Amino acid sequence: MDKVLIFVPVDNIVINDYSGYDTWYNYYNGKPETVKNGIGSSKYYSTINKHKWPTIIDIISLYRHIIEKYEYVYLIDNDVKFARSDLDYFIKEVTPKKVQIVQMALARMNGTHPHLLYRGRKGLIRVKFCEVMAPLIRVDVLLEMYDKGYLSESESGWGIDYIWGKFYDNWLVQDCVMYHTKKVSSTQWVMSDGRTPMMELEAIKRKYKIR
């Protein structure tokens, strides 16, 4: 079994160096002739014009046999950046431990849930949940969440992290840091059913009795 498959939604720019890893790029605006700043080509690609989490649902539905070849899937937003040295250390540090869901710390300049901020500390620690922007998820956990319908609860992705925080072990690698390269825009989205991301989040909290 291969260790890690890295999934990234792509417009026409790949901002991280994933060379040497198996990658799956979803070109949500159609596959361009060239990918700017891309280092290496992806092993798999798709052209699904949906938000990240509905795209992941479609890929699991269509290509589960490929996903099952891997031990972990790293689901990274296209505006999340980190050093290649941090990526390598992160993968090397967590995969032997068989953790269920894990992420890097997020730079303080970006703002996030306080328990996920980079504070210059070291080590792997348990946290109440990892965010949806860039979780590394063990494949058996990802497929179980798909089968149970957890991934379908929110088109925007908001609130899915609250679900996996309730039912699975979540971890943070404090030594590694990732950055948002763009301002968060999802607060302004309106989904296909007319709900906003915040409405999706609140519905999840009510349904699963999460405070």
pLDDT digit string, tens, across residues 194-204: 899 999 999 99
User: What is the mean pLDDT of the segment spanning 178-190?
Assistant: 79
Please check whether residue 155 is in contact with residue 51, taking contact to mean a CB–CB distance below 8 angstroms: yes
Is the pLDDT score of 40 beyond 70? no
Mean pLDDT of all residues belonging to the chain = 91
Question: Which residue type does 193 have?
Answer: D
Mean of pLDDT values over 77-94: 96
146, pLDDT greater than 80: yes
Residue 181: is its pLDDT beyond 80?
yes
Looking at domain 2-207, its CATH superfamily turns out to be Spore Coat Polysaccharide Biosynthesis Protein SpsA; Chain A (3.90.550.10)
> What local confidence, expressed as pLDDT, does residue 188 receive?
75
Q: pTM above the 0.95 mark?
A: no
Q: Among residues 173, 169, 174, 18, which one has the least CA distance to residue 81? A: 18
CA distance 79 to 14: 9
DSSP type of residue 107: P
Mapped onto helix, strand or coil, the DSSP state of residue 203 is helix
Residues 140, 131 contacting (CB under 8 angstroms): no
pLDDT beyond 70 at 109 = no
When pLDDT is cut at 50, 70 and 90, the band that residue 95 belongs to is very high
**Banded model confidence at residue 35, pLDDT cuts 50, 70, 90:** low
Among 133, 126, 44, 131, smallest CA distance to 80 is for 133
As a whole number of angstroms, the longest Cα–Cα distance in the chain is 47
pLDDT for the residue 120 = 87
CA distances from 155 to 35, 57, 116, 122, 160 (A): 27, 10, 23, 34, 9
pLDDT bracket for residue 154 (50, 70, 90)? very high
SS3 state of residue 80: strand
Burial label for 120, CB within 10 Å (0-12, 13-18, 19+), is: exposed
Instruction: Confirm if 48 and 62 have CB atoms less than 8 A apart.
Output: no
